[in-house]
Structure 1
Amino acid sequence: MAIDRTVLVSPDAMGQIDKAAADSGIDSFGLMRSAGAHVAAVVLARFPQAQRAVVLCGPGNNGGDGHVAAKLLERSGMEVQRFGMEPKPGGDAARARALFPGDICPFADWRPRAGDVIVDALFGAGLDRPVSGDVEALIERAGRAKTPVVAVDLPSGLSGRTGEPTGACFRALHTVTFAALKPGHLLMPGRELCGEMHLCDIGIPARLIASDDTVWRNHRGLYAAHMPGSAASQHKYTRGHLVVFSGPLISSGAARLSAMAGLRCGAGLVTVAAQPSAVMVQATHLTAIMQRAIRDVAELTDWLGDSRLSGFVIGPGFGDLEKARAYTSLLAEAGQPVVLDADGLTAFAGKTEELAELFAGETRLVLTPHEGEFRRLFADLADDVTLSKIDRARAAARAQNAVVVYKGADSVIAAPDGRAAVNADAPASLATAGSGDVLAGIIGGLLARGMPVFEAACAGVAMHGEAARRAGRGLTAEDLPAHIPAL
């Protein structure tokens, strides 16, 4: 059966899925045997020259998977030695252990040797606290010896809920998981600690692999149906008019990046609303993008009477925080979607309640903070170590009635209604000055074209990553707009 590689399931929800499978009549031990077989297959395929499989078995079902894998690896001709704990009596893990009798040695007895590969079947996603001292010592020995690790479900010591280590943690080269991905597989640093992911179908029906926790890996299915189309009858105004606000002369480049990105993703018109001092320098750089000099609140108020203006980006290189707040207040009254980025976010540090009041009602605000900006806006959430990045983004989205794009290598897009998506495939080359300005422009352009807010944010983040892949290594932010994929 096809396995859904987009849904993310919390460890608690996965436990309920396992229980539902057993309650529906599916042989739970059969699932364990299938899981162990997948683990053994990855070990044999990826480490054909390994001389000894060091299988670490915990007391629960993760350890049971390890016992099954150990037996299959021994049958394949590999030397196998198990370390760890006896399983809890009466369950599937005890049954797997009984089918492969033999010694289970204490952790302290393992001495690394050339040709070892570790199968970490200790705890998987079931542990959300630090590992014990003897396991920590083993993890340290494995790290010093550079012994390769294949983790079962999750590297032991890594939270499947937050993607954060709870203490000492294995760094796996491969992680074999079953039925569905967990948030910890995608959230940083968990994604790096998992190594190459292997999501395996062990026979749990797709109808059971569901969760009331509406969180996904960002994928085209979240937004494709809402992407703006093309028709012969269209003209520039029906394709939306995006406005990007420019800062002073010295920092006007950020607005140009946003504006060009908005134009490249299909907005019919894009205007840079510049302070008068920046108009001349903008004119030397812009051709297809229009300009308008906006001196103050009064001039902006007059312009906002034009009903053809359909989306706004404010913040990139803007500089004047007081003016940013005043302009944002007017944009909120105009009733069109707004992307608040960079200085636009910083302008509301300590004033998030004011921002939430401005955008009460229908959701039409997108916030795009990186880690530092998120902390300036939501210090209480950023400091709460019990929360995952998904939890933080969702809480901020609810509080602000906004879609929050919490940027990073594991960007999280969260809506006030609880929907969330984790983007996990953007290349590292996006870590360059100005790339966030481009992202704000892409999202702004999609909003100006009429996309719903959450879907526009998900699509924008995906298109941003695709542009970076097309641009290749060594890209600069100026390269990105030309590589934005066509709708």
Structure 2
Amino acid sequence: MKKNAASIPHSVWPTAEMKRVEREAADSLGITLYELMQRAGEAAFAVAREQFPDTRSWLVLCGHGNNGGDGYVVARLAAAAGIAVTLLALESSKPLPEEAATARQAWLDAGGVIHAADVAWPDDVDLIIDALLGTGLDRAPRDDVSALIEQANLHSAPVLALDIPSGLNAQTGTTPGAVIEAQHTVTFIALKPGLLTGKARDVVGQLHHHALGLEPWLNGQQAPFSRFDESQLAQWLPPRRPTAHKGDHGRLVIIGGDHGTAGAIRMAGEAALRAGAGLVRVLTRSENIPPIITARPELMVHELTAASLDESLEWADVVVIGPGLGQQEWGKKALQKVENFRKPMLWDADALNLLAINPDKRHNRVLTPHPGEAARLLNCSVAEIESDRLLSAQRLVKRYAGVVVLKGAGTVVASEAGEAGIVDAGNAGMASGGMGDVLSGIIGALLGQKLSLYDAACAGCVAHGAAADRRAAQYGQRGMLATDLFMTLLRVVNPDVVDTKDD
């Protein structure tokens, strides 16, 4: 999913609060709800003209709600601009909301025609405006709506969705049935979580945002959720003092790498170094020591024994455990000792699988599960995790405390203090082995640089995703390796440095 990054806010509002937000914001500024609808239609029309300037025959699909009202406004503006407009509207036994009814009448008064939803489409349609369903969807679209959605998806014309692609749940990002596959989506007033996580990246296309003039009210509010992207890295990662030394940037111990998994612990270790850790010590199987040191001599690599673990826990500012740890006695014993570490720590991979067997709460810990691991931690199905990723992350925090990073498309970060955000970085090229190990090393390094658990998790996820985005922009997504991120990561975690080129 692409974005007009400069125009996309960092505040995210739950769908359940959108009606209140809209009403209070409009009332505070003396704006009627119909005027907001007019502004929404104007904003959408402007995006359509900007993105598709050569289109001459538009098909507008209007639902029986305020989203349909936005469609009527777009249709009227397009017709006034000399564009051929065919408007199809869904019928209902319920009356239209007042604002939508007014917009519908304005379309008719301007000479517009309303066609039934099942009429044949003109042959020359070159742009489809999706105004079928708004943010209130909580179930699969009914059959007549699904038929229109599927017809739009099969058509060669691009689709511009108003507020949200019809069929996408605005809160969860799930698609309970048919869903519009938009090339562009223009959302109004505030960002909704479902535009950023779950299936959103498959169907939203390029995201645009317009606050409709409600910025004075919105800017004075504290939104419940946040959107995190690369533009914020400078807030988390200021330039270093000229007199800084390696001890200022954290002593990190990374534990794992059972038989056959040396790569996992090596990637976590190098990622930590590239993310700015001062000193990184790796505790692993003795057989892994030569290849890891050969690949990355800056790592201090030792055999994991009871004595080396005790000494390392005394030495460390931060512990990362889990990459390649395994679930045998070797890994279990290490985790039992690490449980009592009082400084910041991160648990990933098999540390999470062992935690699911013996759950506990730790306030100094970051957990980084993918959906499968999250399902084991909550003793539920992956489908349940994915049905509401924000809620799932919050449930994990409630059960295990600390901070939780629920990985995936639109990674969610949540803390026991009630903070929650969605990471707006990363791409499908990251669906390859070792990416989670790299993320663990990055977050561990940022914990060592004295970021809070929550800030380290957010900044680490953003840096990880941004490094992958830069790599994908240069070489593409398919075939991206976890180790490909290291050099672009070096650039990303130095936001004060002006880029000249990417390696």
Question: Do both share a fold (TM > 0.5)?
Answer: yes
In structure 2, the residue matched to 1:16 is: 20
Which of 63, 70, 76 aligns to 1:71? It is: 76
**1-side partners of 2:329 and 2:135: how far apart?**
47
In structure 1, the residue matched to 2:462 is: 462
Which of 476, 479, 482 aligns to 2:484? It is: 479
In structure 2, the residue matched to 1:217 is: 227
> After the TM superposition, which segments of 4 or more aligned residues of structure 1 sit over 4 Å from their partners?
209-213, 220-226
- 2:286 aligned with 1:276, yes or no? yes
Given that 2:443 and 2:457 are in contact with CA atoms closer than 8 Å, whether structure 1 keeps it comes out as yes
Deviations 1:304-328 (A, max 9, x none): 3x3x411111111122444333323
Deviations 1:77-124 (A, max 9, x none): 111122114683572222222222143222111335233422111222
- Give the TM-score taking structure 2 as reference length: 0.87
In structure 2, the residue matched to 1:335 is: 342
- Give the TM-score taking structure 1 as reference length: 0.90
- 2:254 aligned with 1:244, yes or no? yes
In structure 2, the residue matched to 1:407 is: 407
In structure 2, the residue matched to 1:290 is: 300
Which of 293, 318, 323 aligns to 1:316? It is: 323
- 2:11 aligned with 1:7, yes or no? yes
> Which amino acid is 2:24 matched to?
A
Q: CA deviation at 1:158?
A: 1.2
Q: How many residues align?
A: 476
Which of 146, 165, 168 aligns to 2:175? It is: 165
Q: CA deviation at 1:289?
A: 1.2
In structure 1, the residue matched to 2:270 is: 260
**2-side partners of 1:253 and 1:161: how far apart?**
38
- Pick closer, same or farther for the CA change 1:183–1:127 going to 2, 3 Å: same
Given that 1:228 and 1:451 are in contact with CA atoms closer than 8 Å, whether structure 2 keeps it comes out as no
> Which amino acid is 2:276 matched to?
G
- Pick closer, same or farther for the CA change 1:41–1:229 going to 2, 3 Å: closer
**1-side partners of 2:145 and 2:307: how far apart?**
66
SS in 1 for 2:340: helix
**1-side partners of 2:296 and 2:48: how far apart?**
56
Which of 77, 82, 89 aligns to 1:84? It is: 89
**1-side partners of 2:219 and 2:100: how far apart?**
22
Runs of 5+ unmatched residues, structure 2: 1-5, 495-503
**2-side partners of 1:423 and 1:247: how far apart?**
28
Which of 190, 215, 224 aligns to 1:205? It is: 215
In structure 1, the residue matched to 2:53 is: 48
Given that 2:65 and 2:97 are in contact with CA atoms closer than 8 Å, whether structure 1 keeps it comes out as no
Q: CA deviation at 1:442?
A: 0.6
SS in 2 for 1:414: strand
Q: CA deviation at 1:256?
A: 1.1
Given that 1:403 and 1:414 are in contact with CA atoms closer than 8 Å, whether structure 2 keeps it comes out as yes
Which of 349, 352, 361 aligns to 1:345? It is: 352
- Pick closer, same or farther for the CA change 1:432–1:172 going to 2, 3 Å: same
**1-side partners of 2:97 and 2:280: how far apart?**
67
1:174-213 aligned at under 5 Å gives the runs: 174-208=184-218
**2-side partners of 1:280 and 1:385: how far apart?**
40
1:301-450 aligned at under 5 Å gives the runs: 301-304=310-313, 306=314, 308-351=315-358, 353=359, 355-356=360-361, 359=362, 363-380=363-380, 382-384=382-384, 387-450=387-450
- Pick closer, same or farther for the CA change 1:67–1:340 going to 2, 3 Å: same
Given that 1:154 and 1:177 are in contact with CA atoms closer than 8 Å, whether structure 2 keeps it comes out as yes
Deviations 1:49-91 (A, max 9, x none): 4342222222222121111111111111111122114683572
In structure 2, the residue matched to 1:103 is: 113
SS in 2 for 1:300: helix
Deviations 1:156-203 (A, max 9, x none): 111101111121221111111112211111113123211111111311
Q: CA deviation at 1:464?
A: 1.0
Given that 1:321 and 1:344 are in contact with CA atoms closer than 8 Å, whether structure 2 keeps it comes out as no
**1-side partners of 2:400 and 2:238: how far apart?**
26
SS in 2 for 1:349: helix
Please identify, of 78-87 and 422-431, the stretch whose mean Cα deviation from structure 2 is larger. 78-87
Give the % identical residues.
Answer: 36
Given that 1:9 and 1:211 are in contact with CA atoms closer than 8 Å, whether structure 2 keeps it comes out as no
Q: CA deviation at 1:224?
A: 4.8
**2-side partners of 1:273 and 1:111: how far apart?**
66
**2-side partners of 1:135 and 1:387: how far apart?**
22
In structure 1, the residue matched to 2:499 is: none
